[in-house]
Amino acid sequence: MVKNIQKGFNKASNNYNYNGYIQKEIAKKLLNNIEITNNDRIVDLGSGTGIVWELLKNKPEIFLSVDFSNEMLFQHKNDSKIEKLCENFDNPKFWQYLEKWRPSKIISNSALQWSSNLALIFQNLNYFKKNSEIYLSIFTNGTFKELHQYLKIESPILSIKDVLKFADNFIYEIINYELEFENSADLLRYIRDSGVSGSLNIANLNLLLKLRRENLIKRISIEIVILKNIKTTNLYN
């Protein structure tokens, strides 16, 4: 599954900036009250092409963009303040590296739903809570639910309830969007170019062809949970 997700994002990297507008809307909500100081050390988990970096009004002293897709990182803006790391955030070695890196803020927009072990990600995040502010947006299984129901397949991502089980002491907000397309072909193209077409690969081809031919779905839901933990006490004293 991880390989497929990685391949999906590698393929989508060229179109991602055009099609990632929902991710941009979510990132704006995620970052709306964030205060950046010159001394901040910010890590962006699953940074993609750098929407989070672009949206920060003040740029921090150092910004670590982490993504396991080299193609995505290649599209990411370069700057003397940006360090790029091609790494899987499910890899325990990455968290050891981050411990030494000492982030003051940990941000992740629209990426952690692809973790193969979200419980472990939150365990790792627990270690940082005292010293780092944490800002996360995570897609949940109401996303593309119309398509999943029609194709009779399970969403590959977790429910809001499951995500919240892991997220102790975070404040949260649930956000819902509905996207409307001219036709089902455009809708399927959007899903492919967003890099998250994994569930289409296991779908019944005849059902997909019928969907396209008969324009059966033109609206699709997106469901996201935003989580913040911004009560730090210690800042690495």
Summarize as ranges the residues that interact with ligand SAM (CB under 6 A).
5, 9, 20, 23, 27, 46-48, 51-52, 67-69, 72, 88-90, 109-111, 114-115, 195
Q: Between 11 and 212, name the residue whose CB sits nearer to ligand SAM.
A: 11
Q: Shortest approach of ligand SAM to residue 214 CB, angstroms?
A: 29
Q: Between 55 and 207, name the residue whose CB sits nearer to ligand SAM.
A: 55
Rounded distance between C-alpha atoms, residue 35 and residue 95, angstroms: 24
Q: Between 46 and 156, name the residue whose CB sits nearer to ligand SAM.
A: 46
Name the maximum alpha-carbon separation found in the chain: 62
Nearest to 164 by CA among 221, 109, 124, 224: 224
Cβ contacts of 72 within 8 Å, gap of 6 or more: 9, 10, 13, 16, 47, 48, 49
Q: Shortest approach of ligand SAM to residue 143 CB, angstroms?
A: 11
Q: Shortest approach of ligand SAM to residue 86 CB, angstroms?
A: 8
Q: Give the nearest residue (CB) to ligand SAM.
A: 48
Q: Which DSSP letter does residue 105 get?
A: E
Q: Between 9 and 166, name the residue whose CB sits nearer to ligand SAM.
A: 9
Element of type H or E holding 177? strand 171-180
Q: Shortest approach of ligand SAM to residue 70 CB, angstroms?
A: 9
Rounded distance between C-alpha atoms, residue 122 and residue 172, angstroms: 14
Rounded distance between C-alpha atoms, residue 64 and residue 45, angstroms: 8
Q: Between 27 and 64, name the residue whose CB sits nearer to ligand SAM.
A: 27
Q: Between 198 and 207, name the residue whose CB sits nearer to ligand SAM.
A: 198
Q: Shortest approach of ligand SAM to residue 6 CB, angstroms?
A: 6
Q: Where are the alpha helices (DSSP H) in 92-197?
A: 92-101, 118-128, 145-151, 160-166, 184-193
Q: Between 23 and 184, name the residue whose CB sits nearer to ligand SAM.
A: 23
Rounded distance between C-alpha atoms, residue 170 and residue 115, angstroms: 19
Q: Shortest approach of ligand SAM to residue 110 CB, angstroms?
A: 4
The two beta strands, 171-180 and 219-229, are antiparallel
Place of tokens 């030494």: 100
Contact criterion met (CB below 8 Å) for 64 and 83 = yes
Q: Shortest approach of ligand SAM to residue 181 CB, angstroms?
A: 19
